Amino acid sequence: MSSQKRLMYYGKGDVFVFRTYQKPLDGIKAIPESGFTGRNNVIFGMNAKIALEGEFLESFTKADNSRVVATDSMKNFILRKAAEYHGSTFEGFLHFVCKRFLDVYSHITAVEITADEIPFEAVQVAGDTHLETSPLVYRHSRNELITTTVKVQRSKAGYELAKQESGIRDLHLIKVSGSSFYGYIRDEYTTLPEAKDRPLYIYLDILYRYNKKEDAVADNPAVYVPAEQVRDIAASVFHEADNKSIQDLIYRIGLRVLQRFPQLAEVQFLSNNRTWEAVIEDIPGYKGAVWTEPRPPYGFQGFVVSRQDLVNEGLEKAKESVKA
Ligand SMILES: O=c1[nH]c(=O)c2[nH]c(=O)[nH]c2[nH]1
């Protein structure tokens, strides 16, 4: 290799964007595992992180700021573009902002933005005869959130979508009964008792990638995969199956997500084991037990499920070619 590209980027994190009355996301097909069919986007809120790549080596090596877009300006750029984007997805918005950056600054070669949703939930309020959903008041949710990354680089054709992934972060799910963990290696290092029924508590990040990256940013509900449905599939599969481990569980979730969404190429999992620790296992005459948070350290798993796994499981016919 004659020349290796040097790692070089800079950018801005914690760019908070709240756009009210963004175009609603609708036209989403219902799936059996989820009641989700759209986002009203009354609050389209996110915490974005942007990084630029380009011809600004001399800002590092010669203290020459003449090609530096101040990171403060990047923040302003993103915020102002929020008034110019009229689609209905985070993916579409990030794609739009990345392209506008490349249009305005000719020495920038690539723009990557990751946005984490700042989720707000509808609240129920007193109506004349019954509770109704307020169209005005929302509650900040501290539950899981949508995460999206888009990277666009300059190409001969104009723009190239270099990276795109979407998903859900910080999904915390507990199944109080119906999970086991046994059959693992027992040797002189093993102190963990086998569990035929444990209260499995997991933290999950689920990221998915499309066969065609463009489908993610097209603002086309016919091909768009909403993270809320992926979240609900995770809960449904956890509910349905007696799992033998987190490894077993996330594989099954991955298969189901890919079955529901033929437009996806793969699903990636980052899981944590937060299984509660038993304090009082038998309460005579009563169902249930007393548990507490586990002591550190915690276990984790990383795994990607792809369409080939569906083929291997006999859940999908092999394709002549699946283009990533
Ligand atoms: O689902 C689990 N997978 C493991 O690999 C593991 N290891 C462990 O100690 N507990 C668990 N649970």
Token reading at 198: 């444990």
Q: Is the dihedral of CA 227, 233, 236, 241 positive or negative?
A: negative
Mean pLDDT, rounded, for 104-132: 97
Q: What is the pLDDT of residue 321?
A: 55
State the catalytic residue, choosing from 12, 99, 151, 213.
12
Tokens of 188: 């002189």
pLDDT of 320 > 70? The answer is: no
Catalytic option among 23, 37, 71, 109: 71
251 lines ligand 1 (CB under 6 A): no
Give the Cα-Cα-Cα angle 250, 170, 89 (nearest 5 degrees).
100
294 Cα: distance to centroid of ligand 1 (angstroms)? 13
Q: Is 268 helix (H, G, I), strand (E, B) or coil?
A: strand
Nearest to 170 by CA among 241, 93, 252, 231: 231
Q: Does 246 sit in the ligand 1 pocket, CB within 6 Å? A: yes
Active site residue 37: no
Distance 237 CA to ligand 1 centre (A): 19
Confidence bin at 319 (pLDDT 50/70/90)? confident
Q: In this model, does residue 25 exceed pLDDT 70? A: yes
- Chain segment 90-101, per-residue pLDDT in tens: 999 999 999 999
Q: What is the mean pLDDT of the chain?
A: 96
80, amino acid identity: R
**What pLDDT digit, counting tens, does each position of 60-82 carry?**
999 999 999 999 999 999 999 99
What dotted CATH number matches 10-320? 3.10.270.10
Residue 202 has pLDDT above 90, yes or no: yes
Any catalytic annotation for residue 12?
Answer: yes
Name the pTM for this structure: 0.95
Is pLDDT above 70 for 196?
yes
Contact residues for 60 (Cβ-Cβ < 8 A; gap 6+): 8
Atom of ligand 1 nearest to the CA of 192: 9
Q: Over pLDDT 70: what percentage of the chain?
A: 98
Band of the pLDDT at 87, cuts 50, 70, 90? very high
Q: Is the CB of 201 under 6 A from ligand 1?
A: no
Q: Are 161 and 139 in contact (CB under 8 A)?
A: no
- Give the dihedral sign, CA 68/58/103/215: negative
Sheet strands side by side (includes 195-210): 10-20, 43-54, 108-117, 145-155, 158-181, 195-210, 264-273, 299-306
**Angle 133-139-140 from CA coordinates, rounded to 5°:** 150
Please give the ipTM for the structure prediction: 0.98
Q: Is the CB of 253 under 6 A from ligand 1?
A: no
